[in-house]
Amino acid sequence: MSAASSPSPRVVIATRESRLALWQAEHVKALLETRLGWQVGLLGMTTLGDQILDRSLSKVGGKGLFVKELETALLDGRADLAVHSLKDVPMDLPAGFALACVLEREDPRDALVSNHFASLDALPPGAVVGTSSLRRLVLLKALRPDLKIEPLRGNLDTRLRKLDEGQYQAIVLAAAGLKRLGLASRIRCAFDPAEMLPAAGQGALGIEVRADRQDLLDALATLAHQPTWLAVTAERTVSRAMGGSCSMPLAAFIREPQQGDEMTLQAAWGEPGADGQGVAGQPLVRAEHRAPVRSFADAEALGERVAASLRAGGAVWAANAPQP
């Protein structure tokens, strides 16, 4: 470097301290160092979502509890950017924050993890399956109404430990997290999206910054994977249009472009039921539309169209809806 050259920018990434969150932060750190030549540090934090483990997220404020402390660190200058699993990020960011980019998606599917059973069909009648996701609950109940769904909180390693201790006969996790931590061997089967539709943004990482950091917005835009960003924008628009909660019984997933820039967006909505165990025999509300997606406006229009079809089919989110 010549004497006239500017020193490499130094930035700090705010991250949760779970093993998966640290992997994600280290992944982004490596990208920033290799592609942009930046010096990067990490600021590990414990969020409220990590601390509250005795209640389901839908009862205590949703998945936004995983990002609030990280946003505070951005606001007060302790950190410059935050790395999130996009499915944990609220549909509308608070004023003053922006999504700088979305990285290429990992496997978006849900995975069945079990020590004794190779598939959902192989589980015995009344088997106990762990998940605290309303989406997974209603989709599992649609496939197997006999299953007993029990809450499952904690980071990925904690969830696997609870399975290994025998508290559940199977648990359902995101395939992306298992693969990122080198735990793909724990996956007994990955659900076809046709039967177990993923959550909006599942498998994708997003980088959040303060909205006034134009320097970061410009630089980080070069890391964006545009097909993934357009796809998750369409998916997240469905969630926003249905009420904006990360904890709704909603699935939304857009497949890879099939012909040119055309994308097919599928969504499903279920009813968790008064007992938090789903309503046996009650059909899911499903919607599907296909359209060319060349811009964020196109993606949002497709998401709005699918949400309108869900509402027309009877999907309604009430603030006092029964929750497990």
Tell me which residues are annotated as active site. 88
Q: What is the DSSP string of 213-225?
A: -HHHHHHHGGG--
Q: In the chain, what is the straight-line distance between the N-terminal and C-terminal CA atoms, in Å? A: 58
| Residue 34 amino acid letter | T
What's the sign of the alpha-carbon dihedral 56, 269, 277, 195? negative
Strands 205-210 and 81-85: antiparallel
Distances (CA, A) of 120 to 110, 144, 146, 169, 267: 12, 8, 12, 10, 21
- Return d(Cα 150, Cα 110) in angstroms, integer: 17
Q: Residue 4, class by beta-carbon neighbours within 10 Å (0-12 exposed, 13-18 middle, 19+ buried)?
A: exposed
